[in-house]
Amino acid sequence: MKKFAKMSLVAAVAVAGFTSAASAKPLEEAIKNVDVSGSVVYRYNDYQDDYNGATTNKTSNNYKIGLTAKAKVNDDVTAVTRFIIGNPTTNDLGLASLDTGTSGDASVDVELSNVYFSYTGLANTTINVGKQGLTTPWTVAVDSDSNEQTGTGILALTNVGPVTLAAAYFNQTNLNVSGDDTTTLGNLGTAAGVNVGATDIWTVAIMGNIGPVALDAWYLDMDELFDTFTLGAKAKFDLDALKLGIEARYTSLDTDDFNADNELWKLALSAQYGIFDASIKYAGTDKEGGLVALDNDAETVFNTWNVTPNGEKDADFWNVVLGVQALPSLHVSANYSHMEYEENAEQEELYAQFKYKMSKNFGGYIRYGQYTKDDNTGVEVVDGTRGRLQVEYTF
């Protein structure tokens, strides 16, 4: 714990020094205006898979620490920095993974992923300028245990009555290395003759609420690569002992150099009654393509432990979860996913999860299950038994 406190202090000192060097404030006074938050994650994976008849065993230790420091510069401006201690080989800002079967222990890198100024001097308006997370439905700006998408540019949000308007422009991103579709983006970039990370992005959005329903509409253009839009709705209903939730979204993405229409529509229903809970999710994709997210954890798609419809053609994806709050600190669930796509291709997973929350800021889970994959000829190419332990501390 002392080490984490020291690391938080280091982040606070760094951002305080950054914002107070010109004004020469006493260090003690500068640190008082710094808010530090973050997370520490350890994950252990144990996978045994049969690939086309050949058995592979892989175990790995995985680590990620994220530290965000916010320093109040004046009444209207806040300086924000984020440091990631994670993947030492790329700039995807994800977990550092150390294979226990092929390599020894190693240190991991520290990276500055965010450094921007947030201006709130206009009524009901926030403007962020600098290197920041890509806060869109197609990307993940901040993630405690996976990769993050960032870019340098400007983001503006303003509230007009019950409606929030958003607009952003970025002239540089890490989408060439971060996300789950970097290969596809790379192919699009090669065809267009552009560098994916240096490609401009702009996006606009409108968000609002009608009663219990939250609505949003977004449009995004990545210069010379693709343009996309998404429409979403979410609602929650509290009926005394019964709590219900519903989510629906449609996303379309058209590539500039390839004549393919990528579409994905999804629907999720959830219910909680007493200690019991359940959810069911469905997603379908177009016959020409289903690439609608740059990260599989983004809002425009569903993602389970091993299965996602993102990027798959003509997919029918189902996910069912049954859970029980066995103890105040222990939630137990059974999770099943099935997807058919591209004629006869198929993926299926079934796993149990035990999620333990020792305190508000410390918990984790254990997963164990099976995963299979058949190619489009109906031949089983993956038959796996997989286990995971994850522990997370937030501050």
Return the amino acid letter for 386.
R
In the block, which residue shows the tokens 């219990």? 212
3-state secondary structure of 199: coil
Mean pLDDT of 75-104: 87
pLDDT at 3 over 50: no
Q: Name the band, by pLDDT with cuts 50, 70 and 90, for residue 180.
A: confident
Q: Determine the pLDDT at residue 5.
A: 47
pLDDT, tens digit, 9 for 90 and up, residues 125-139: 999 999 999 999 999
The stretch 52-69 carries a mean pLDDT of 91
The vertex-353 CA angle with 52 and 362, nearest 5°, equals 125
What pLDDT score was predicted for residue 226?
Answer: 95
Please give the mean pLDDT across all residues of the chain: 91
CATH of domain 109-386: 2.40.160.10
Spell out the domain ranges in the chain: 109-386
Ranges 4-13, 69-78, 267-276: which has the least confidence: 4-13
DSSP 209-265: EETTEEEEEEEEEETTTEEEEEEEEEEEEEETTEEEEEEEEEEEEEESSS--EEEEE
pTM of structure: 0.89
By C-alpha distance, which of 93, 96, 67 is closest to 3?
Answer: 67
HSE (side-chain half, CA atoms, 13 Å) at 120? 11
Tokens 């790995």: give the residue: 60
Segment 328-354 mean pLDDT:
97
Look at residue 208 and tell me whether its pLDDT is greater than 90.
yes
Q: Residue 98 — pLDDT band, cuts 50, 70, 90?
A: confident
pLDDT at residue 212, as a whole number: 94
